A and B are shown apart, each in its own frame.
Chain A
Amino acid sequence: MVGLYRTRAVVLRVKDFGEADRLVTLLTAESGKVQALAKGVRRPKSKLAGGISIFSLGDFQLWQGKSLDGIKQVEIIESYRLLRENIEKMAYASYVCELTDQLQGERDADSGVFSLVIHTLAALQDYEDLDLVLGIFLLRVLSIGGYLPEINVCVSCGSVVPIGSSLVLSASGGGILCADCIRGEKSASAEALSLLRFLVNADYRLAGRIKAGSVNYQVVSLLMNYVTYYLEKRLKSSDFLDIIREEKGGFKSVNGSK
């Protein structure tokens, strides 16, 4: 007898496994990450084929295995198709899912990450300003992990960093530095500091409304470095995201975004 259970989950990762199977990393609503086998899914006539796509949200029926659970059935709730059909959106969504995969342990109790990921994927699908969405996501992730950078006072001397100062974010220091304490660190504009302070309390609906342009690019680049520092490793998907972000605009704006 095989034990069956149901769970709502989002597909973080799909990897070819064996001859015709795929290994699927699910982020479940109640119990963190679960690795599950999708048997025979690469065969054209598989019932599961097409149902198990990265980034999609569904209700899964799983069987319990000795070392690995398996996927028996899935009913897609939201496939987030656009995230797979638009290469820019795909680059961002891949980064979001890989970061989540790294941060979330297997069978961890949910700490709000599931709902954050779903809202983030939906925002990446719906909005044009992908950097803004990613910026908000990174700040939320840092906040859940207890690593939210200090953004009001200088982490070196403790003095208040006033509006209009340029932004210097020190990952090792855990927050921003004032003009007196900068030691060789790169600084971004004063608008970047304002945007960072604004994004900490922002939600995704804003991504459809404000226009932050290249300031966004700077802030998100800084936050990505900040996350890399705490993760102690570079995410694989960040190389491709860098290529896409640079092509799309950022500092070297070529032909605007599409």
Chain B
Amino acid sequence: MYARSIAQLIEELGKLPGIGPKSAQRLAFHLLFQSKEEVKALIEAIVKAKEEVKYCSQCQNLTDINPCPICSDLNREKWLLCVVENPQDVAAMERIREYRGQYHVLHGVISPMDGVGPEDLKIRELLQRLSNQDIKEIIIATNPTVEGEATAMYLAKLIKPLGIKLTRIARGLPEGGDIDYVDQLTLVRALEGRREIDN
């Protein structure tokens, strides 16, 4: 048994994704043995991020400047748009330095059994963008998971009638995997080998 305040800290940490009861305990004690200043810096960083980070009005990625640096970069192609699940995927794509177009972050995927439907994702914002901007090709780079494929299919149904060229990153990606985990070479190949979606 722990003191109430320690138990509460463990409980809060345990709510974080990927943190089980054991890791929560380890983190709690790590924090307790840090200096007051270090703990304050952590708290301030969390609060600051929470207050300052917003959705970019263009790509819906998380940013503290609006529009975000990628959207306001004039050297990037304006006609090419890559649709990804989450901000980590933008980071993964940027790491390979192959892609010079725009992004659109959905913030999730269609997952019927979790009750996540199209209206819970930034799909309305995507369609809005497509009607305002002159996009010529859209690359759908959702993960090669069941939900990622379903989302790609759903987007294809919505976008095809607009007459915009639609491609899907290649199947070189392992089925069921996370783009986040894929090595850079595989991701470059997947991008090069993208194919048009015909449904």
Q: Which residues of A line the B interface, CB within 8 A?
A: 13-14, 18-20, 41-45, 49-50, 52-54, 84-87, 90-91, 94-95, 97-98, 236-237, 239-241, 243
How far in angstroms is the closest Cβ of chain B from A186?
A: 25
Not counting A44-B173, A84-B149, a sample of 17 additional A-B residue pairs whose C-beta atoms are within 8 angstroms of each other reads A14-B146, A44-B182, A45-B174, A50-B174, A50-B176, A53-B146, A86-B153, A87-B150, A87-B153, A87-B157, A90-B146, A95-B112, A237-B112, A239-B115, A239-B117, A240-B118, A243-B118
Is the CB of B113 closer than 8 A to any CB of chain A?
yes
Known: A94-B112, A236-B112. A19 touches B117 (CB 8 A): no
Known: A18-B20, A44-B186, A54-B146. A98 touches B177 (CB 8 A): no
CB of B175 within 8 A of CB of A91, answer no
What are 18 A-to-B residue pairs whose CB atoms are below 8 Å?
A: A13-B113, A19-B18, A42-B176, A42-B177, A44-B174, A44-B182, A44-B186, A49-B175, A52-B176, A53-B176, A54-B146, A84-B150, A87-B154, A98-B112, A236-B115, A239-B112, A239-B117, A243-B118
Is the CB of B110 closer than 8 A to any CB of chain A?
yes
* B112: contacting residue among A19, A52, A91, CB under 8 A: A91
B118 closest partner in A (C-beta): A243
Point out the residues of chain B lying under 8 angstroms from A87, CB to CB: 150, 153-154, 157
CB of A236 within 8 A of CB of B114, answer yes
Point out the residues of chain B lying under 8 angstroms from A95, CB to CB: 112
Point out the residues of chain A lying under 8 angstroms from B181, CB to CB: 20, 42-44
- List CB contacts (< 8 Å) of B10-66 with chain A: 18, 20
How far in angstroms is the closest Cβ of chain A from B121?
A: 12
| C-alpha gap A99/B114 in the complex (Å) | 13
A234 closest partner in B (C-beta): B115
Point out the residues of chain B lying under 8 angstroms from A52, CB to CB: 176
> How many A-B contacts at CB < 8 Å in the complex?
70
| C-alpha gap A98/B111 in the complex (Å) | 12
Q: Determine which residue in B117, B149, B175 has the highest number of CB atoms from chain A within 10 A of its CB, and name it.
A: B117
Q: Which residues of B line the A interface, CB within 8 A?
A: 18, 20, 110, 112-115, 117-118, 146, 149-150, 153-154, 157, 173-178, 181-183, 186
Q: Determine which residue in A54, A95, A239, A240 has the highest number of CB atoms from chain B within 10 A of its CB, and name it.
A: A240
How far in angstroms is the closest Cβ of chain A from B20?
A: 7
Point out the residues of chain A lying under 8 angstroms from B115, CB to CB: 236-237, 239
Point out the residues of chain A lying under 8 angstroms from B154, CB to CB: 87
CB of A49 within 8 A of CB of B176, answer yes
How far in angstroms is the closest Cβ of chain A from B175?
A: 4
| C-alpha gap A241/B115 in the complex (Å) | 10
Point out the residues of chain B lying under 8 angstroms from A54, CB to CB: 146
A54 closest partner in B (C-beta): B146
Point out the residues of chain A lying under 8 angstroms from B175, CB to CB: 49-50, 53
| C-alpha gap A95/B113 in the complex (Å) | 8
A243 closest partner in B (C-beta): B117
Known: A43-B177, A90-B146. A240 touches B117 (CB 8 A): yes
A247 closest partner in B (C-beta): B157
B20 closest partner in A (C-beta): A18
How far in angstroms is the closest Cβ of chain A from B93?
A: 16
CB of A90 within 8 A of CB of B112, answer yes
CB of B176 within 8 A of CB of A240, answer no
| C-alpha gap A182/B114 in the complex (Å) | 37
Q: Determine which residue in B112, B175, B186 has the highest number of CB atoms from chain A within 10 A of its CB, and name it.
A: B112
CB of A236 within 8 A of CB of B18, answer no
| C-alpha gap A122/B188 in the complex (Å) | 37
| C-alpha gap A39/B177 in the complex (Å) | 13
| C-alpha gap A54/B146 in the complex (Å) | 8
Point out the residues of chain A lying under 8 angstroms from B146, CB to CB: 14, 53-54, 84, 90
Point out the residues of chain A lying under 8 angstroms from B178, CB to CB: 42
| C-alpha gap A18/B149 in the complex (Å) | 22
| C-alpha gap A14/B157 in the complex (Å) | 25
| C-alpha gap A45/B20 in the complex (Å) | 24
| C-alpha gap A200/B114 in the complex (Å) | 31
Q: Determine which residue in B110, B113, B150, B186 has the highest number of CB atoms from chain A within 10 A of its CB, and name it.
A: B113
CB of A90 within 8 A of CB of B177, answer no
Known: A18-B18, A240-B117. A85 touches B176 (CB 8 A): no
| C-alpha gap A86/B150 in the complex (Å) | 8
